[in-house]
Amino acid sequence: MEAKDLIQLTDINRQLVEVTTVDEAKGWADKAEAARYYAKKSGMGLEAQNHAAEIKLRFQRKEGELLRGLKEEGRLDAGGRPGLDGNRSTVLTGLDDMGISKNESSQVQAIAAMPEEKFEEAIQEVKESGGELTTGGMVAAAKGNHRAKGTGKDEWFTPLEWIERARAVMGGIDLDPASTDKAQEIVKATRYFSEEENGLEQEWGGRVWLNPPYSNPGMTEFIEKFIFELDAGRIKAAVVLTHNCTETRWFAQLAGRSTAICFPSKRLGFYDINGEKAAPVNGQAFFLFGANDHEFAQEFGPEGIVVKVLNG
């Protein structure tokens, strides 16, 4: 992806009109995401990132409208499998067949369900506030989460009591690979990597606390990096905090390697750099690696459901 590709994405009004299938809308949204990612990694600035992100959101809205249309016509298999309806006369379109996860389908349909005025206001509000436009932020706005309205910020910090539980289970925190100076006031890891240092390009090791960025591609990249370092034997113990999106590939990757998972009974009260609390639209999950699962159950169990994972 080069700068010229980002510029070419500006001609979206005509494309939005011409797009008539879910595949086309998803293809344009994916292209815009690639441009957003390039803008961020190449240091083009927040304005360029949000320019591409806005285009992505507009095509995701179109994707959601088309999915809603298929559902209303009885042509969408919500189970994700292509097949036939009860009369065995209408061919159904499955989400899997279109390469769309249930989570993505839910997100884009939530965005599509927003009144146009509300959709435009949410975009404008984030741009004027200097925030970062993301799909997660727009879904939060669609669901009326005014505390996190449209921001999609990845820098939401974990409450102290949960950090202390992770510290107690592992006996300390040697590394926080996706962090900030502000977060370290609570995490107090021996080492940490900021966005500028890019933890994806560093070697990890020891006892790791990981609260990755929740928007993609950041989430997927950090989980894949975590699995790589785990397989390399450099991570001795870890607690990883994510949303409880059990249908995603990255959740399956973590669950497949973990020894135990805690599903908190309440959504966590994340807070931002100003101390403002968020009201997340998803629940969370804590994954344990390498440490004692009995101690994990003792520390985390009173605040949720802890399950032991039987792998291999």
pLDDT score recorded for residue 285: 95
Q: Domain check: are 98 and 25 in the same one?
A: yes
Among 148, 179, 214, the domain boundary falls at: 148
Boundary residue ending a domain (148, 170, 191): 148
Average pLDDT, the chain: 81
Return the pLDDT at 80: 41
| Residue after which a domain boundary falls, among 91, 124, 148 | 148
Pick left, alpha or beta for residue 241 (phi over 0 → left; psi -120 to 50 → alpha; otherwise beta): beta
Pair 262, 285: CB distance under 8 Å = yes
Residue 12 C-beta-side C-alpha neighbours within 13 Å: 23
- Comparison of pLDDT for 128 and 2, the residue scoring more: 128
Q: Which domain holds residue 177?
A: 160-308
Is the pTM higher than 0.75? The answer reads no
Asked if residue 84 lies in contact with residue 92, where contact means CB atoms within 8 angstroms, the answer is yes
pLDDT for 275: 52
Kindly report, residue by residue over 262-308, the tens digit of the pLDDT: 999 988 877 555 555 555 567 899 999 998 889 999 999 999 999 99
Sheet holding 206-210, edge to edge: 191-192, 175-176, 206-210, 235-243, 284-289, 260-264, 304-308
Residue labelled with tokens 């999106």: 245
Does the pLDDT of residue 216 top 80, yes or no?
no
Closest CA to 179 of 141, 145, 135, 210: 210
Same domain, 118 and 207: no
For residues 137 and 130, give the distance between their C-alpha atoms in angstroms, rounded to a whole number.
14
151-196 pLDDT, tens per residue? Answer: 344 556 788 899 999 999 999 999 999 998 888 989 999 999 988 8
Residues 80 and 118 in one domain: yes
Judgement on whether residues 165 and 89 belong to the same structural domain of the protein = no
Residues 166 and 256 both lie in one domain: yes
Same domain, 256 and 291: yes
pLDDT value of residue 155: 58
Contacts of 284 (CB under 8 A, 6+ apart): 241, 242, 243, 244, 263, 264, 267, 268
